[in-house]
Chain A
Amino acid sequence: MNKLLMFLLTLSCAALLAGAARADSYWITYEGNDYPENEGWTRHTGAGGAQRSIEQGALVLDGRDDIMIYDAYTMSRQIDPAPGELFIMRARLKVDEMASEPWDPGFGVASDESWSALFVFSETRIFNVDDLGMSASFEPGVFHTFELRSWDMRSFELCIDGNLSLTGPFTHIISASSVSWGDMVEGEASLSRWDSFEFGVVPEPGGVTGMVVLSMVVFGVSRMYTHIRK
């Protein structure tokens, strides 16, 4: 039994390492503890940009003075997942106030082949810019985690606090290979707090590697637990 357990755990570790060692995998995190341009992000502003501060580990963007204000952050790099990988873009934020309607903060991605998904937020809803009739609601006044996942950069799933809320296609545009977030919209005014923003490519949980890893780990732990109880 011990030999079998060791074999399974070894396989699990090997699969994990194989997945982690893929050259295409990457993960970039901004945690709201510093201004984004100090952490490799490019700042884009209009009308002087928002009044900014760092409060309790979150970036505060106050653009309520002028609807022409925008204050967005982009990072250009190769974006796309390889087969068997998953692209994830995740933002944790709170929209404190909209000084105009209907939306202002946002986040989006443009793939290596110029396929884009772009979303904007009001105090209570998230909208897909490419299909503004597509939106999902969330509780106002508290932080939420919005996570976009794509396996092929042609379609997406969007989860709010872990719950699947929207699905849809990407749109072909000119801009390529970047992610962006912040006070995105010129023409609206808002106050928002960004606790974190992260994106990257990880081994696909539902892929062969992911399934092997998951099944091996679960099976291995189960056998270990059984073995310990004996």
Chain B
Amino acid sequence: MKRTLQISLAAALLAGVSLSAQLVVSELAYDAAIEPLKLPGSLNFGEVAGVATNSKGDVFVYTRTGHPTLSLGTARPFAHGGSRMFRFDKTGKYVGEIGQGVYAFLFAEKVKVDPQDNIWVVDQMSNTVMEFDPEGRLVMLLGRKAESENVPARGAAPPAAPAGGGAAGGGGAAAGARAGGAPPQGAAGGRGGGADAEAPAGGRGRGGPPGAGGQQDVFNRPTDVAWDAAGNIYVADGLGTNSRIAKFDKNGKFVRSWGQTGTALGQFRQPRAIAIDAQGLVYVADAGNRRIQVFDGDGNLKGRFLNVGTPRAICITSGPRQVMYVSNSNVPEDIDVEGEIYKVDLTGKILGKFGHAGRLAKEFNGVNQLECRTENELWAAEIGNWRVSKITLRGTGSTN
């Protein structure tokens, strides 16, 4: 017994787990509704990438649906459509659509609502962050959509779990190991595939360090947006070659960026989500490095959480006692590993966890965004199950 404990401790130290790591994580009791939102007629969600609520409880869903289309123009193919944003009231009744036919709804990534109830949309393929006011008018744009697409294009598919063998491990970390100039995976006609491929290091912008994307506001597969109390805007950028956090003032003027591709402190591999607490600390889900890094608003590293698997979605509650939820999301190509959601305090101490990967109610498949205005009511956007789950935690205590 004593020996086992020693080994566990040694392993924990080797793995770099912080002192607050717990060897046993309590399971939180929860329920989940898998059809909390009612779509009208023949409308269906596709891959649900983003979900957010506003101060009135309205729900916004940004989903990959319809037909992403390339049309042939003058020597170049042009990309159109492929994603839509729907709005529901707090009872789950469909209200309408925002941004029909907008220029840059190509490949949904996130939707967020700021304290003034503006709706922010992050599109991974058009490399844009769009701000809509509460009435649905576009009021600010960050980034620019590429004029045309490269076909055949870029990127490698992630490893999918082989059918003949055991479970695949690693998730995003494994995907990262295969990147770096490897030939594109997937046979003609489409085998597997996944949005988790990591681009090779090497800056897209000029003048910055490798992978840092330069000091400019051009994104490469951005993943998330958040704001501090002063209204400054922070963009996680992203799954492409930038691997940085870009900071803008409240008027959208580029201020600075920090980070570059890598595994060292302050570097990122696949920063997938970002959240900011009441003190203005910036939490970055550094998925490819299986950690959350914490910075002040100027990019100075303040801490890190190492015990939450591959964080692909995070959120922080509002109110005086803020907590964070972190999803160790499975890739949609494998439902036999991962998928649990952690509740942690803002020092990184794990308060509990719940759920696992799967297709049933109370299971999760590729959670890409978590919304948590309050501590016991969460929304999860599931890429793999093409749905939004509304999660209710039963109190703050644990069941064991």
A in complex with B: no
| A-to-B contact residues, CB < 8 Å | none
